[in-house]
Structure 1
Amino acid sequence: MKKIPTISNESEKQRSIQTFSLPIEDVEVWKILTHQQYSANTLLAFKNDWNHFLSFCLEKHACALPASVKIVHEFIDQMAQKRKLASLKRYIVTIGLVHRCHALPDPCRHTEVRLVLNRYRLEKQDDYKNAAAFRDDHLQRLAEHFSLATKPKDVRDFAIWSIMFEAMLKRSELTALTVEHLEIAPSGLITLNVKEHAIGLSTLASQALQRWLTIGIIETGNVFRRIDRHGNVGDQPLDHSSIYRVFRRAGDELGISHDTIFSGQSPRVGAVKDLSDAGVSIHDIQSQGRWKSPAMPAQYAGHKDKHDTEIAKYVKNKPWQK
């Protein structure tokens, strides 16, 4: 947990409490509260989580800031009916953060709240499911129909499917990719420079990316951009929801059951499974996918024992778990 300075001035504190006692749509308020120590995506998650809690408190005619242990307990109980364990943990983090920043007692540290979260940790320990795996055979089937496509959206989407799978790109890495990050060899093969990593692409992915750069007339700036309904390529980069729709489309094009939905995480999951099936070690996969620990690639590969062992290295026992 990051060390965030609390609001020490009493009048400023009261004004902030009033602000956070009503739904907030401006992330800037959160940036100020947390002294700019979190990313934009994290601040957005904080905002949404807190607004959910506020709505619940309003329905119960209860005070949200400071919140009672009882109301936090009831909130977690209600959200547990439809949310996964990761969401419940995030709610606890958000509620606790807001209270600590305002120098108020943190209800989430109370034994009652800790115990209820521990109960759901046991009940929901197996509710986390990996994103559906987007694998090489999926890409090859899509290549049969899209490798020579001419419509901008088709060309762009195939390039995204190709390089996100081959380079095991995170969504944030794809959206941040610019022309300046590309090295094009005389042979036509492309190398992506992602932070300090150089990632070489195959002929298939290199050609797909080259075709997109040509058809999209992308000469500088973000590589992957939004396309309007008329097929015009804009200047704005894709966001995470756009990438989700691109991979949702891949599933539709492949005729995959709606029970199996691809997302922006799917190519990393699929690449891990393919590499693991080919005999590549988890540590080598970790290096190739730029993970900080082997935990996630182990989970994606289905090595639950390895995943649990790695996770345990980073998790400290809470007082109620001792």
Structure 2
Amino acid sequence: MSDSAERYLQAARRASTQRRYAQAIDHFEGEWGGLLPASSESIVRYLAAYGALLSSSTLRTHLAALAQWHSQHGFADPTKAARVRDTLRGIQAKHPQPVQQAAVLAIQDLETCVGGLEVELMSTKPTLRLRAARDRALILLGFWRAFRGDELCRLQVEHIKLNGEEGLEIYLASSKTDRGNRGRILTMPALKRLCPVVAYEHWLAVSGLQRGPAFRAIDRWGHVGEQALNANSISRVLRQAFARSGAPNSSYSGHSLRRGFATWASRNQWSNKALMDYVGWRDVQSAARYIEADAPFGEWARR
């Protein structure tokens, strides 16, 4: 296969997914001592060995990795066997686990954090000002457009159009639910406060960026990197910004931006359809995982 063809094949595979799959294969071979190609019976034994130790979602990821390995190497997929699927269902029944959710970013904490960053924008230290400008733009754009962390990292300056005071037009080339990499056009209106448009425009002005990744690392000397931030670093950037501003919650992660917006929109009477269309969810169940409903107990509630 030519090098160019292999590059295109690699581009079709999400890097984060491939990293998880590689770790899963290493776990099957190295940690457990399994052999590839595997039989369905060996996979059943593998699932049984880790059924009480790993979450069901992790085990499903490992099965997907094993399925992909066999497909890529020309072998029949042993994970499709009925015994494998029945074993996984049995594990889920015997070891039920609540879904781990990112903390919801409250609008009050967002205001506190952005207020702290705006104080840093007036610092006498250039590096601190530059980092504050990036963090403010990243956090506000991530919140108000309900971006995933990896989507923020894939944003390109040339794909974001500033339409004066109206807002931003953003071309998102790919996302978790866009398996065909068709991309979609998103809009972000300018807001009266906590405005991501103003924040992004300021970040472009102070960073001098004209092309390439919109959000990048900044070293201690104030040099803006060439590469995009890694998706795994978004949570760290968020927590550091909150810590510097004195905001109370250090448990926020990159996904808290997405959950925070969904909760804010729900409490501000956005319809399910409007929210799903804006965020890009395909079904109500996906949306329900992000929204924290307020049970209307009224005067019966103690608080």
TM bucket, shorter chain: 0.7 to 0.9
Q: How does 1:144-293 map to 2 (within 5 A)?
A: 144-150=115-121, 151=128, 152-187=130-165, 190-194=167-171, 195-203=184-192, 204-253=195-244, 254-256=246-248, 261-293=251-283
Amino acid at match of 2:21: F
2:113 and 2:247 in contact (8 A); partners too:
no
**Matches for 1:20-35 after TM superposition, within 5 Å:** none
Report the Cα offset of residue 105 of structure 1: 4.5
Partner of 2:175: none
Cα distance in 2 between the residues matched to 1:220 and 1:99: 40
Report the Cα offset of residue 183 of structure 1: 3.0
| Aligned counterparts of 1:77 and 1:229: Cα–Cα separation in 2 | 48
Shift of 1:227: 0.8
Q: In the superposition, relative to structure 1, how do residues 250 and 282 fare at CA in structure 2: closer, same or farther (>3 Å)? A: farther
* Aligned-residue RMSD, C-alpha: 2.7
Tell me the secondary structure at the aligned position of residue 300 of structure 1. coil
> In the aligned structure 1, how far is the partner of 2:289 from the partner of 2:98?
14
What is the CA–CA distance in structure 1 between the aligned matches of 2:230 and 2:265, rounded to whole Å?
28
Q: 2:180 maps to what in 1?
A: none
Give the Cα separation in 1 of the matches to 2:52 and 2:155.
Answer: 39
Q: Give the Cα–Cα distance (whole angstroms) in 1 for the partners of residues 95 and 108 of structure 2.
A: 33
> For each residue in 1:219-263, what CA deviation from the matched residue of structure 2 results, as whole angstroms up to 9, or x when unmatched?
3322211111322112211120121211232453455455xx222
State the shift of 1:274 in Å.
Answer: 1.0
Contact 2:146 2:258 in 1 (8 A): yes
**1:100/1:222 CA distance change after superposition, 3 Å:** closer
Q: Indicate yes or no: 2:63 matched with 1:92.
A: yes
Question: TM-score w.r.t. structure 2 length?
Answer: 0.77
- Quote how far apart the aligned CAs of 1:117 are: 0.3
State the Cα distance separating 1:55 from its structure 2 match.
0.7
SS in 1 for 2:120: coil
Q: 1:57 to 1:123 in 2, by over 3 A?
A: closer
| Residue matched to 1:296 | 286
Counterpart amino acid of residue 114 in structure 1:
R
In the alignment, the residues of structure 2 paired with residue 199 and residue 124 of structure 1 have an alpha-carbon distance, to the nearest angstrom, of 43
Contact 2:163 2:169 in 1 (8 A): no
Q: Please report the TM-score for the alignment, with normalisation by the length of structure 1.
A: 0.73
CA displacement 1:85-117 (0-9 Å, x = unmatched)? 211111112213323444445432334322220
Measured in 2, the distance between the counterparts of 1:35 and 1:212 equals 32
What CA distance in whole angstroms lies between the structure 1 residues aligned with 2:85 and 2:56? 13
Q: Deviations over 1:138-184 (max 9, x none)?
A: 21111221124232112211211111101112223322222223333
- Taking only the aligned residue pairs, the percentage that are identical comes to 22
* Cα-to-partner distance string for 1:40-78 (whole Å, 9 max, x where unaligned): 3332222121111111343xxx5x113244432332234
Q: 1:177 to 1:129 in 2, by over 3 A?
A: same
Q: How does 1:32-51 map to 2 (within 5 A)?
A: 38-51=13-26
Alpha-carbon distance in structure 2 between the residues aligned to 1:126 and 1:57: 23
Higher RCO, 1 vs 2 (CA within 8 Å, ≥6 residues apart): 2
Match of 2:50 among 69, 79, 100: 79
Instruction: Quote how far apart the aligned CAs of 1:118 are.
Output: 0.3
- Please state whether the residue corresponding to 1:113 is helix, strand or coil: helix
Q: Which residue does 2:125 correspond to in 1?
A: none
Counterpart code for 2:224: V
State how far apart, in whole Å, the 1-side matches of 2:10 and 2:147 are: 30
Whole-Å separation in 2 of the counterparts to 1:198 and 1:257:
29
Q: Is 2:216–2:226's contact at 8 Å kept on the other side of the alignment?
A: yes
Distance 2:51 2:68 in 1: 20
Deviation at 1:137, TM superposition (A): 1.5
After TM superposition, the structure 1 stretch with the greater mean CA deviation from structure 2, 140-149 or 157-166, is 140-149
Instruction: Name the SS for the 2:170 alignment partner.
Output: strand
Equivalent in the alignment of 1:4? none
- Is the contact made by 1:167 and 1:201 (CA closer than 8 Å) also made in structure 2? no
Tell me how far apart the structure 2 counterparts of residues 37 and 232 of structure 1 sit (CA, whole Å): 31
Compare 103-112 and 155-164 and name the one that shifted more. Answer: 103-112
Amino acid at match of 1:177: L
